[in-house]
C-alpha cells in the first residue's frame, strides 16, 4: 500500500530487531548528477504537496479530510493549535531526501530542528506508510486521515512538535538548540549513516546550536557517519526576523566556512516563484553535496585525506509558511512572522475565512494526491524509500532496536582490597577509570565517554591506556592522547557533551558524561527534556528501551574549597528529583568499591537517568568488594562495625550519612563518641541510593516503611550528614515516622575561600559539630557529655585558627585515621586539595 | 604613590558617586598611529613584567615577596592553587589598554573572560593603586605585597578567579561562557564606553559564548558603547588543545568575518621570541583598531553609516603560560596545557624546584620594578591612567555608583477597575505592558526589556507604543517595531538575554527578562552565578547596590496544555529557593493589579533576584487597586469575601492558593462548597509572596509563627493549591505547626496532550478535586458531603469526556463565573488557549 509495498516491510511496531549489515554495501559513492525533470520532478512536488496538505489538515480540520464536501465551520477545530511556519520547509527537505535515498540506498536519519514542526514530520510518516504500521487506526484511508487530523494537538492526541510519539524522531521540537548536537551523537560510530539535520534559523540563535557547528572537528571520516546540516532560513522567529537571515550573504557564507563547512545555497519560492524551479535547484545541490561527501569518504578510505575534511552543508532559503495565503485581511502573511503559528486563526470566524482555508488546501490539488478512499496515490508513495530506508522507519530513530548489550568486565576484579574498614586509601574515580578502560576495550564501537575537558581532572585518566580523545582538528607532536578516532569526547561545552550523548544513546549505544557537579546545572534544561522524553517513550509500545544516561559528577561541592563559591553547588540532585520517579536515580557511593558496583549497575540499566556523585580525591576505603556489592544492592544499611550499639538493643542515636565526605565526617564523629562517650549507643547508617529514602509508593526504589523504621527507628534522634542541600532529605523522608526526629546537616550557600575542613565547619557538617549535634539531641547525657561538647567547640576554634594561619587543615584532621575497635586506620594526609595539581601536572583543575 | 598621584584620585572605597560627564569630550577620534618604541615600549613591558611577577607571587609565595633572601621552601605556600596559564595574556592586554587609555582618555571596562585569571586582575589593580585604596592593608609596600600574595586562594582570603572582591570586575571567572554577553550588556546605553572583552579559547567553545558574537547586530553606534572582543588563543584548555586554536587561520578569520567583525591578528612570544617585538605589534594593532572604531562612530554621528558596521576585533595568539619555565623535569610546560594551572606544583618538594621557581620570578627583574620598600617604581606606575580612568577603578565596574533611580509612573493609575471580586476580565501581563510603556517613556536611557523573541507572546506588546526592538542587522519594510535603537532586546537565546541583562544591571542600569517558565531553566546556572555574585557583593563595603534582576515568567506551566509536556516545568522556583534567602524573592501575583503592585516593588528593589510568575491569558480580576496593594504588602492574607467562616469563629478547613490558576480553581472550589455545604466554614488564603511561608529566621520576608498560625491555624486541615511542584510548600512551611495538616496539590510530571482543565484534572488541582480533598479532610461531614463527593467525581468524568470529544473544555468550566454572595461574576470564556494566536496573528506562541 505504500512505496515499500514491493518488499516485505518489517514493521517497526512489531518490534523485530532488524539486522543492520554494517558493511553490506558502501552507500558513499559518486554518481553523475542528473537534472531533476519530467515525472521525477513532478513526483517530488507531489510528495511535497501531499505532505503540505496533510500538515494543514492536522492544524485545522476535525472532519471532511478530503474536502469532499464544501468546508464548513464545523469541520474546523475549535482550538487551532500548531505551527505552520516551518512546516513546508521540513516537508520540502523530506521529499528531496526521499529521492536521494531511493537513488543511493543510503540509511538516513532526519533530525527536525525547527520548533514545532510536528505536523510535517507526522505527515511524511503517514505518507511513507510507517505511521499506519505503528498506529493501525491511523491507516491510509479517509477514516485514517480524519483520525490523523483530529489527533493533532488534541486532548489525548499527539503534541504539536516532533516527540517520542513521532516515528523517525530522536529530537524534541519543543525546547530549541540541540538538533545539531543530537545529529552528531547519532553519527558517531555509524559509518554508513547520513544524518540530515535541519536547523531552524530561530534555533540557530541559541548558544548550544551556535557551538554545535564545531562538532565537525570531532568526526572521524572512517569510523563515523556523516552529518549534513541544512540551515533552513525562512527569515522569522515568533515575532522577529532571525539573525542569520538578515546578515549579508557574504557573512553567512564566511560564517559557515569559518565553522569548517563548504556551504551551498539553495534559495527560492519568493514572490510566487514556481516551486518546480526550486525543486530542480535543491535536487542538483543535494546531488552535488552527496558526491562531495562520497569524495571525502573515499579519500579517507584510501588514506589520502589530509587534515580536517571540509564537509558540505546546505543553506536553504524559502519563505516562512511557504504556500499559505499571501495576504489575510490585507496583511502580508506568507514570508512574514505572521505565518509562524496558525496563519488563519480566524478560520471558523467568518464564512470568508473558512473559504480561504478551503482554497488554501485545494491549492495542493488533493484530488491528484489521494484516491477517493483517502489513500495516497502510487505516484506519490512511489517516492518513499523501501522498508527501513524510510526515514520514519529507520531503526536509528528507535535506538533500542539496534542496541547491543555492553560486554562488561567483572567490576569485582578492579576493586580495592579492603581487609578492614578504613585500612586503604584510594581515589574512587581513578579506580573506576581502570574498569572503564576495559569497558572500552571490550566495546570498541558502541561506548563513549563525554566530558567538558575534565576527564583527566576527574581522574579517569586510565581510560587513555585503552583509547584516545577523538580530535579531527590539527594535532601537534606535543599533544597527548589525541587521535582521529577515540572513545573520549571532550569539548568545553556541557551542552555539547549532553547533546552528543543523548544522540548517541537514542541511536542505541552506551555512554557516560563526567562533569563538575556545580556546572552540570548548565544542562538542567536539557536534562529536563531528556527525562520527559524517556518518560513518554516508556509508554509507547513500539519504542524499545535505550541505555540510561549516566552522569558521573566528580569534583563535587566538598572539593571546591579552593575553587571557591562559584564552584559550589550540589543542587543538580534537587533538580533531578523533581522529575518522574520512574526515570531518575541518584547514587552517592562512598568509596572505590561502591562506585564500581554502582556504575556497573548504571551501565547495564535502561531508560533511566542515573546521577552518580563520587569523589576523585584519595580517601578511605570502607567496604570490601562483597560488602560493597551487598551494600549497593540494599542501597542503604547499618554499618554496625562503625557504631556502638549492642545487638538486640535500640540505639540512643542514629548517625546517618550520604556522600563520601559526609561519611568520613560521620565516621570521625562516631569514633569521637566511641572514645569519649562509650556508653552512648550509636548507630551508623550509610545511604548510597538516595531514592531508597522515599516512600515505596513514590519511587520504585523506595524502602517499605517497615524496613525504613527498622533501620532509622521511629523515635530516636537522627543526625543526618548529607552531601547536598539539607532539606532534600526532609523531602525524601517526608512520609516517614523518623522525619520528625531528623536533623540534617548539608551544604548551605556561604561563600568564602577556605580549606576543605574549614568548608565543612562553615556548614556545621564537620565531625566536631556532628558530635555536638548528637549531644544536643540525646536527652540526659550529663556532665561528661557537656565537657565533650565544650571540647568539640574548642577543637573547632583551634581548627579554624590553624587554617587561617597555615593555609591548610590542622594535622589532627588532615592526618586523622579511622580506628575501629582493632585500632586500625588509614592515613588521610591527602585530604587537602593540594594533590589536585598532580605530579604530572596534567590532572589540572577546572577551567 | 601611583601613576595617578598627580590628580586627586577619588577613592572607590570611599563610595563617592562620581559624576561621569556623558558629553564631556568625544573619546572616539582618529589619531595617527605611532610605533611603540623607546621608553614607551619599555614601560609597557615593565608593567607587564611587574604584573606577571605579582601573579606568580600570589600563586606561590607566603613570604619573602621581593625575594630579598634566597627563596626557601617555607616561603612557598603549602597548598599551591590558582591558574597561571591565562594570566600573562590577561596582563599583556591590560598593559596595552593602559597605554591606549592614557593616550585617548577613553573610559574602558576590562572583562576578563578566561577562567581563573584572578591573580592577573588583582596584580594589575594593585599596580594602578586601586587595590590599596580599597583594601588599605594591601598597600604598595613590602608588607602589602606579602599580604597580597598570602591572601590569594588562602583561607579567609580571595578566590582564584575574578570575583566581586576584584576591583574592576563585573564578570566571574568561575563558570565560563558569559564574558561577551556581559560586555555587550555593559555597552548598551554607554555611548562613550569601550568594553574590552578578553575571551579565552576554552570559553569560546561554550554555547553561550559562541552565540554571543552575534550581539554586534544589537549595538547602535550612536546610543551604545563599543565592545572590542579580544579572542585570546593560548592554545589549550585544562588538558586539551582548544578548537579555535587548531583550525586553519583562514577558517578562523572567516568565522570572525562571518560573525560580522573585522579581525586583526597579533601573534607572538613563541619559541622564545622577544616580548618587546610582540608589544610593538600589539600596540600598532590596538591603534589601528581604535581608529577603525572612531571612524565608525564618526560615520554614525555624521549620518553616513550604511548597514551594520563591521566592528573590529583582535585575535591574540600567545603561548599558554607565557614566560613560565619552558621545561620542567624534562617535560615541555610553557605553551602546553601543563601550564594551565600551577606549572611548578613541586616548588616545595625539592631544592631544585624551589630554585627553579626563584629563577622564574627573578626573570622578571623585580629589582627594576619595585623599590626597596616594595613600591612599584614611577616608571612602572607611569603607565596607569588617572583616577577613574584606571580600569580597576572604573565606576562602570561598580554600577551602583552610577545607578540612577528609575522614574516610576504611579502603577495605581494603570490598574483594572475592580468593583467587586471577579467582575472584570483582563490579561495581567498586557496591563503590565501599559505601565512598562510609561516606565520606558520616563527612563529613555537606563531601562531595557530582554526576552527570547517572546515579549509580544508574553503580551507586553503595549511597550511598542513607546519604543522599538533594537536591531542593527537588515530591516525590511514588512518589519514591525524594529529600529536601530530601542528598549526591547530580543534574540532567541535565553543565555544572551540573561547575560546582557546582568551586564546592564552590574553597570548601574535597570531591566527585566521575560521568558517562558519552562525554558528559564536554560539559564539555571547563570542564575546560580549571579545569585552568588550578589550574595558576596553584599558583604563588600565598596560595592554599591545594583538593581535587582527581575524575571517575568509568563506562559507558565498551566498554560502549556497545548504546547505539551516539553513546555511544562515550574521547577525554576525550586531552583531559586536553594540560593541564600537574602538574595531571592518569588512572587505569584493573581491578577493585573497584584502584578502591577508586585512589579513596581521589584523595579524599585536592589540586590535581589525577583522571580515573578504571572498569567498572560484573560482571567478574573480579584482585587481593587487598594486591596491589591494591601495584599501585596502583606504578601499573603485571608480573602474573607471568598470564604464562609463567620467572624470570631475558627474555620473547619483552610483552602490556600498561590498562583493565578490555582487561585481560580480554589475560588471555584470555595464557591462549590458554599453552594453545596453552606454549613462548612471555609477560609480562603491567598499567597503572593512565597517567601512569607518561610520561617522568619530563614528568610527576611518570613512571617512570624504567631501571624502564620493565626492565618493558617495550627490544627485545621489545609488544602493548598500551588502553582508548582507541591513539595516546595512543605519545604517552606517545614517549621510551621500547620505543616502536619497541609495537603498540597500542584504540578506533577505527567505528560499528555490536553485542554487546560484536563491538565488541571491530571494533576488533581481542578476545582472538583479540591472539593473532594476538602471533604476527605474534614471529619464527620455526613451523607450530604458524601453525595457531593460523588457528584464531584461525576463532574470530573464528564469534563474529561467532553474534552476528548470536542477538543476544548466543557462549558460549565470554560464559562464558569465566580459568584460571591451578591451573585456577580465574570465570563471566563477565554479560558481556553485559543485566543493565544491573537487576532493580529502576531502574539504567537512559542518557538
| pLDDT tens digits, A607-656 | 999 999 999 999 999 999 999 999 999 999 999 999 998 877 789 999 99
Test A453 with B202 for CB contact under 8 angstroms. Answer: yes
Tell me the pLDDT tens digit for each residue of B369-387: 999 999 999 999 999 999 9
Mutate to test the interface with A, among B566, B695, B731, B736 (most CBs of A within 10 A): B566
* pLDDT band with cut points at 50, 70 and 90 for residue A491: very high
Q: What is the mean pLDDT of chain A?
A: 92
The residue whose grid cell reads 471566563 is B828
Q: Would you say residue B22 has pLDDT above 70? A: no
Residues 71-100, chain B, touching A (beta carbon < 8 A):
77-81, 83
Q: What is the rounded CA–CA span in Å between residue B542 and residue B141?
A: 22
Q: What is the rounded CA–CA span in Å between residue A796 and residue A757?
A: 10
* pLDDT band with cut points at 50, 70 and 90 for residue A662: very high
CB atoms within 10 A of CB A674: 17
CB atoms within 10 A of CB A786: 11
Which residue of B lies nearest to A538 if distances are taken between CA atoms?
B751
pLDDT of residue A831: 33
Within 8 A of A157 by CB-CB distance, chain B residues are: 753
Q: For chain A, what's the residue count?
A: 847
Domain extents in chain A: 41-397, 411-618, 637-816
Tell me the pLDDT tens digit for each residue of A799-824: 999 999 999 999 999 989 887 653 33
Q: If you average pLDDT over residues A374-384, what whole number do you get? A: 98
Enter the pTM of the model: 0.95
Out of A159, A475, A731, the one facing B753 most closely (by C-beta) is A159
- In the sheet with A718-722, reading across from the earlier edge strand, the strands are A636-638, A682-687, A653-658, A718-722, A742-745
Which residue of A lies nearest to B747 if distances are taken between CA atoms?
A578
Q: Would you say residue A601 has pLDDT above 60? A: yes
Within 8 A of A471 by CB-CB distance, chain B residues are: 240-241
Q: What is the rounded CA–CA span in Å between residue A145 and residue A375?
A: 9
| Lowest mean per-residue pLDDT among A7-11, A703-707, B14-18 | A7-11
* pLDDT band with cut points at 50, 70 and 90 for residue A735: confident
Q: Would you say residue B836 has pLDDT above 90? A: no
Q: What is the rounded CA–CA span in Å between residue B436 and residue B451?
A: 14
Q: Under DSSP, is residue A130 helix (H, G, I), strand (E, B) or coil? A: helix
pLDDT of residue B299: 95
Q: What is the rounded CA–CA span in Å between residue B323 and residue B361?
A: 10
- Fold agreement between B41-397 and B637-816: yes
Task: Take residue B639 and report the three cell numbers written for it.
Answer: 480573602
Quote the distance between the C-alpha of residue A685 and its chain's center. Answer: 33
Instruction: Kindly report the backbone phi and psi dihedral angles of residue A606, in degrees, each rounded to the nearest multiple of 5, phi listed first.
Output: -130, 150
Within 8 A of B468 by CB-CB distance, chain A residues are: none
Q: Would you say residue A829 has pLDDT above 70? A: no
Q: Would you say residue A22 has pLDDT above 60? A: no
- CB crowding A41-56: b at 16 or more within 10 Å, else e: bebbbbbbbbbbbbbb
A341 contacts chain B (CB < 8 A): yes
Q: What is the dihedral of CA B494, B495, B501, B505, to 10 degrees?
A: 140
In percent, how much of chain A has pLDDT > 70? 94
CATH number for the domain formed by residue range(s) B637-816: 3.40.50.920
Tell me the pLDDT tens digit for each residue of B574-606: 999 998 888 999 999 999 999 999 999 999 999
Residues 641-670, chain A, touching B (beta carbon < 8 A):
none
Out of B338, B579, B754, the one facing A749 most closely (by C-beta) is B579
B146 contacts chain A (CB < 8 A): no
Q: If you average pLDDT over residues B346-372, what whole number do you get? A: 97
Task: Take residue A648 and report the three cell numbers written for it.
Answer: 538486640
Q: Give the ranges where B117-178 is alpha helix by DSSP (H).
A: 118-127, 130-134, 142-151
Which residue of A lies nearest to B262 if distances are taken between CA atoms?
A251
Out of A473, A578, A752, the one facing B571 most closely (by C-beta) is A578
DSSP tag of A689: B
Q: Which long-range contacts (CB under 8 A, 24 or more apart) does A378-382 make?
A: A378/A3, A379/A43, A379/A46, A380/A43, A380/A46, A380/A47, A380/A50, A380/A127, A381/A1, A381/A2, A381/A3, A381/A127, A381/A128, A381/A129, A382/A3, A382/A43
Q: What is the rounded CA–CA span in Å between residue A197 and residue A114?
A: 10
Mutate to test the interface with B, among A62, A199, A240, A728 (most CBs of B within 10 A): A240
Q: What is the rounded CA–CA span in Å between residue B200 and residue B232?
A: 5
pLDDT of residue A847: 31
A273 contacts chain B (CB < 8 A): no
Instruction: Kindly report the backbone phi and psi dihedral angles of residue B426, in degrees, each rounded to the nearest multiple of 5, phi listed first.
Output: -155, 160
Task: Take residue B766 and report the three cell numbers written for it.
Answer: 481542578
The residue whose grid cell reads 471568598 is B642
Q: Under DSSP, is residue B371 helix (H, G, I), strand (E, B) or coil? A: coil
Out of A211, A237, A253, the one facing B210 most closely (by C-beta) is A211
Which residue of B lies nearest to A804 if distances are taken between CA atoms?
B155
Mutate to test the interface with B, among A163, A259, A321, A492 (most CBs of B within 10 A): A492
Tell me the pLDDT tens digit for each residue of B439-493: 999 999 999 999 999 888 899 999 999 999 999 999 999 999 999 999 999 999 9
CB A512 within 8 A of CB A500: no
**What is the nearest CA distance from A463 to chain B, expressed in angstroms?**
14
Look up the CATH superfamily of A411-618. Thiamin diphosphate (ThDP)-binding fold, Pyr/PP domains (3.40.50.970)
Q: Under DSSP, is residue B631 helix (H, G, I), strand (E, B) or coil? A: helix
Out of A240, A519, A574, the one facing B490 most closely (by C-beta) is A240
Which residue of A lies nearest to B330 if distances are taken between CA atoms?
A840
Q: What is the rounded CA–CA span in Å between residue B218 and residue A202?
A: 16
Mutate to test the interface with B, among A149, A203, A493 (most CBs of B within 10 A): A493
CB B526 within 8 A of CB B495: yes
Burial class (CB in 10 A: 0-12, 13-18, 19+), B108: buried
Tell me the pLDDT tens digit for each residue of A686-718: 999 999 999 888 888 899 999 999 999 999 999
Q: Which residue from B230, B224, B225 is spatially nearest to B244, judged by alpha carbons?
A: B230
pLDDT of residue A404: 96
Q: If you average pLDDT over residues B524-535, what whole number do you get? A: 96
Q: Would you say residue B48 has pLDDT above 70? A: yes
Q: Would you say residue A350 has pLDDT above 60? A: yes
A332 contacts chain B (CB < 8 A): yes
CB atoms within 10 A of CB B479: 18
Test B846 with A238 for CB contact under 8 angstroms. Answer: yes
Test B338 with A842 for CB contact under 8 angstroms. Answer: yes
Q: What is the rounded CA–CA span in Å between residue B792 and residue B229?
A: 63
* pLDDT band with cut points at 50, 70 and 90 for residue B820: low
As its CATH architecture, domain B41-397 has 3-Layer(aba) Sandwich (3.40)
Q: If you average pLDDT over residues B537-556, what whole number do you get? A: 96
Q: If you average pLDDT over residues B128-137, what whole number do you get? A: 97
pLDDT of residue A751: 74
Tell me the pLDDT tens digit for each residue of B651-683: 999 999 999 999 999 999 999 999 999 999 999
What is the C-alpha end-to-end distance of chain A, expressed in Å? Answer: 57
Q: Would you say residue A380 has pLDDT above 80? A: yes
Q: Which residue from A359, A361, A380, A357 is spatially nearest to A140, judged by alpha carbons?
A: A380
Q: What is the rounded CA–CA span in Å between residue A421 and residue A818?
A: 8
Instruction: Kindly report the backbone phi and psi dihedral angles of residue B193, in degrees, each rounded to the nearest multiple of 5, phi listed first.
Output: -110, 135
Q: If you average pLDDT over residues A521-526, what whole number do you get? A: 98
Out of A174, A258, A342, the one facing B564 most closely (by C-beta) is A174
Tell me the pLDDT tens digit for each residue of B609-643: 999 999 999 999 999 999 999 999 999 999 999 99
Test A214 with B243 for CB contact under 8 angstroms. Answer: yes
Q: If you average pLDDT over residues A335-347, what whole number do you get? A: 93
Tell me the pLDDT tens digit for each residue of A169-189: 999 878 999 999 999 999 999
- How many beta-carbon pairs below 8 A join chains A and B? 448
Mutate to test the interface with A, among B164, B210, B490 (most CBs of A within 10 A): B210
More confident residue, B32 or A241: A241
pLDDT of residue A5: 34
Instruction: Please enumerate in sequence order all residues whose Cβ is within 8 A of that of A742, keeping only pairs 6 or more positions apart, or say none.
Output: A718, A720, A729, A730, A733
Within 8 A of A455 by CB-CB distance, chain B residues are: 239
Q: What is the rounded CA–CA span in Å between residue B91 and residue B112?
A: 10
* pLDDT band with cut points at 50, 70 and 90 for residue B821: low
Q: Would you say residue B13 has pLDDT above 80? A: no
Q: What is the rounded CA–CA span in Å between residue A600 and residue A598?
A: 5
Strand partners, B232: B200, B316
Q: Would you say residue B765 has pLDDT above 70? A: yes
A798 contacts chain B (CB < 8 A): no
Angle in degrees, 0-180, between the axes of helices A118-127 and A38-60, rounded to the nearest 10: 130
B113 contacts chain A (CB < 8 A): no
Within 8 A of A730 by CB-CB distance, chain B residues are: 731, 734
Q: Would you say residue B97 has pLDDT above 50? A: yes
Q: What is the rounded CA–CA span in Å between residue A73 and residue A358?
A: 11
Mutate to test the interface with A, among B491, B807, B811 (most CBs of A within 10 A): B807
> Could you give the count of Cα atoms lying within 13 Å of B833 in the half-sphere of its Cβ?
31
Q: What is the rounded CA–CA span in Å between residue B393 and residue B7?
A: 14
CB A190 within 8 A of CB A396: yes
A306 contacts chain B (CB < 8 A): no
Q: What is the rounded CA–CA span in Å between residue B435 and residue A75?
A: 41
Task: Take residue A582 and report the three cell numbers written for it.
Answer: 520512574
**DSSP labels for B593-617?**
HHHHHHHHHHHH-BS-EEEEE---S
DSSP tag of A702: P
Q: Which long-range contacts (CB under 8 A, 24 or more apart) does B302-309 make?
A: B305/B221, B307/A248, B307/B474, B308/A247, B308/B216, B308/B217, B308/B260, B308/B472, B308/B473, B308/B474, B309/B221
Test B254 with A251 for CB contact under 8 angstroms. Answer: no
ipTM for the whole predicted complex goes beyond 0.90 = yes
Q: Would you say residue B840 has pLDDT above 50? A: no
Tell me the C-alpha to C-alpha distance, in Å, between residue B602 and each of A760, B100, B313, B416, B459.
35, 40, 37, 20, 19
* pLDDT band with cut points at 50, 70 and 90 for residue B830: very low
| Lowest mean per-residue pLDDT among A10-19, A289-298, A801-810 | A10-19
More confident residue, A25 or B694: B694
Amino acid at each position: 500500500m505504500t512505496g515499500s509495498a514491493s518488499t516485505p516491510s518489517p514493521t517497526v511496531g512489531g518490534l523485530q530487531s532488524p539486522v543492520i549489515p554494517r558493511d553490506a554495501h558502501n552507500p558513499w559513492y559518486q554518481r553523475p548528477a542528473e537534472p531533476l525533470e519530467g515525472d521525477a520532478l513532478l513526483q517530488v512536488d507531489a510528495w511535497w504537496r501531499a505532505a503540505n496538505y496533510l500538515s494543514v489538515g492536522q492544524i485545522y480540520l476535525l472532519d471532511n479530510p478530503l474536502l469532499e464536501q464544501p468546508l464548513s465551520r464545523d469541520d474546523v477545530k475549535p482550538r487551532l493549535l500548531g505551527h505552520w511556519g516551518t512546516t513546508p520547509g521540513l516537508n520540502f527537505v523530506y521529499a528531496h531526501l526521499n529521492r536521494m535515498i531511493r537513488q543511493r540506498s543510503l540509511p538516513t536519519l532526519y533530525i527536525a530542528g525547527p520548533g514545532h514542526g510536528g505536523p510535517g514530520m507526522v505527515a511524511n510518516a503517514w505518507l511513507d506508510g510507517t505511521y499506519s504500521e505503528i498506529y493501525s487506526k491511523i491507516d491510509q484511508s479517509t477514516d485514517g486521515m480524519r483520525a490523523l487530523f483530529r489527533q493533532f494537538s488534541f486532548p489525548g492526541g499527539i503534541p504539536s512538535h516532533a516527540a517520542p510519539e513521532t516515528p523517525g524522531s530522536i529530537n524534541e521540537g519543543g525546547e530549541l538548540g540541540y538538533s545539531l548536537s543530537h545529529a552528531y551523537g547519532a553519527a558517531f560510530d555509524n559509518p554508513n549513516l547520513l544524518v540530515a539535520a535541519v536547523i531552524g534559523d530561530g534555533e540557530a540563535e541559541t548558544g548550544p546550536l551556535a557551538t554545535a557547528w564545531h562538532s565537525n572537528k570531532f568526526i572521524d571520516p572512517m569510523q563515523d557517519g556523516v552529518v549534513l546540516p541544512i540551515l533552513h532560513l525562512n527569515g522569522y522567529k515568533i515575532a522577529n526576523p532571525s539573525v542569520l537571515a538578515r546578515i549579508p550573504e557574504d557573512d553567512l557564507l564566511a560564517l559557515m566556512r569559518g565553522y569548517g563547512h563548504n556551504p551551498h545555497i539553495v534559495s527560492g519560492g519568493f514572490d510566487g516563484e514556481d516551486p518546480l524551479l526550486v525543486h530542480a535547484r535543491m535536487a542538483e545541490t543535494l546531488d552535488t553535496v552527496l558526491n562531495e561527501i562520497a569524495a571525502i569518504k573515499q579519500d579517507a578510505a584510501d588514506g589520502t585525506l589530509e587534515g580536517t575534511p571540509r564537509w558540505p552543508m546546505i543553506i536553504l532559503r524559502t519563505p516562512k509558511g511557504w504556500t499559505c495565503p499571501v495576504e489575510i485581511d490585507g496583511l502580508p502573511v506568507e514570508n512574514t512572522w505572521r505565518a509562524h503559528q496558525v496563519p488563519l486563526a480566524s478560520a471558523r470566524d467568518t464564512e470568508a475565512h473558512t473559504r480561504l482555508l478551503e482554497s488554501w488546501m485545494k491549492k495542493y490539488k488533493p484530488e491528484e494526491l489521494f484516491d477517493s478512499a483517502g489513500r495516497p496515490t502510487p505516484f506519490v508513495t512511489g517516492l518513499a524509500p523501501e522498508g527501513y530506508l524510510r526515514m520514519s522507519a529507520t531503526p536509528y530513530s528507535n535506538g533500542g532496536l539496534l542496541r547491543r548489550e555492553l560486554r562488561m568486565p567483572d567490576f569485582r576484579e578492579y576493586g580495592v582490597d579492603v581487609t578492614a574498614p578504613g585500612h586503604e586509601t584510594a581515589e574512587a574515580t581513578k579506580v573506576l577509570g581502570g574498569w572503564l578502560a576495559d569497558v572500552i576495550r571490550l566495546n570498541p564501537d558502541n561506548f563513549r565517554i563525554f566530558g567538558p575537558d575534565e576527564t583527566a581532572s576527574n581522574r579517569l585518566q586510565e581510560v587513555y591506556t585503552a583509547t584516545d580523545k577523538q580530535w579531527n582538528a590539527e594535532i601537534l607532536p606535543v599533544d597527548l592522547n589525541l587521535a582521529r578516532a577515540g572513545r573520549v569526547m571532550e569539548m568545553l561545552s556541557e551542552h555539547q557533551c549532553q547533546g552528543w550523548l543523548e544522540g548517541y544513546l537514542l541511536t542505541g549505544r552506551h555512554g557516560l558524561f563526567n562533569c563538575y557537579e556545580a556546572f552540570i546545572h548548565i544542562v538542567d534544561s536539557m536534562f529536563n527534556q531528556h527525562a520527559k522524553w524517556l518518560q513518554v517513550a516508556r509508554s509507547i509500545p513500539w519504542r524499545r528501551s535505550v541505555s540510561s544516561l549516566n552522569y558521573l559528577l566528580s569534583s563535587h561541592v566538598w572539593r571546591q574549597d579552593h575553587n571557591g563559591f562559584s564552584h559550589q553547588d550540589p543542587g543538580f540532585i534537587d533538580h533531578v528529583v523533581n522529575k518522574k520517579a520512574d526515570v531518575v536515580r541518584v547514587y552517592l557511593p562512598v568509596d572505590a568499591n561502591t562506585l564500581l558496583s554502582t556504575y556497573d549497575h548504571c551501565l547495564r540499566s535502561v531508560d533511566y537517568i542515573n546521577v552518580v556523585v563520587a569523589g576523585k580525591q584519595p580517601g578511605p576505603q570502607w567496604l570490601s568488594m562483597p560488602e560493597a556489592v551487598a551494600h549497593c544492592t540494599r542501597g542503604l544499611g547499618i554499618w554496625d562495625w562503625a557504631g556502638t550499639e549492642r545487638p538486640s538493643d535500640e540505639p540512643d542515636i542514629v548517625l546517618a550519612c550520604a556522600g563520601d565526605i559526609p561519611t568520613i565526617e560521620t565516621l570521625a564523629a562516631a569514633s569521637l563518641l566511641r572514645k569519649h562517650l562509650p556508653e552512648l549507643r550509636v548507630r551508623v547508617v550509610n545511604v548510597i541510593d538516595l531514592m531508597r529514602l522515599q516512600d515505596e509508593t513514590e519511587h520504585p526504589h523506595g524502602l517499605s516503611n517497615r524496613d525504613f523504621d527498622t533501620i532509622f527507628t521511629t523515635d530516636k534522634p537522627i543526625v543526618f550528614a548529607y552531601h547536598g542541600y539539607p532539606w532534600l532529605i526532609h523531602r525524601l523522608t517526608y512520609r516517614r515516622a523518623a522525619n520528625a526526629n531528623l536533623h540534617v546537616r548539608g551544604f548551605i550557600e556561604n561563600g568564602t575561600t577556605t580549606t576543605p575542613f574549614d568548608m565543612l565547619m562553615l556548614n556545621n557538617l564537620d565531625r566536631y559539630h556532628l558530635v555536638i549535634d548528637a549531644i544536643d539531641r540525646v536527652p540526659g547525657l550529663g556532665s561528661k557529655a557537656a565537657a565533650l561538647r565544650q571540647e568539640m567547640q574548642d577543637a573547632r576554634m583551634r581548627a579554624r585558627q590553624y587554617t587561617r594561619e597555615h593555609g591548610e587543615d590542622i594535622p589532627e584532621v588532615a592526618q586523622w585515621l579511622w580506628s575501629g575497635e582493632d585500632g586500625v586506620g588509614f592515613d588521610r594526609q591527602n585530604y587537602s586539595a593540594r594533590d589536585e595539581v598532580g605530579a604530572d601536572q596534567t590532572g589540572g583543575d577546572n577551567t
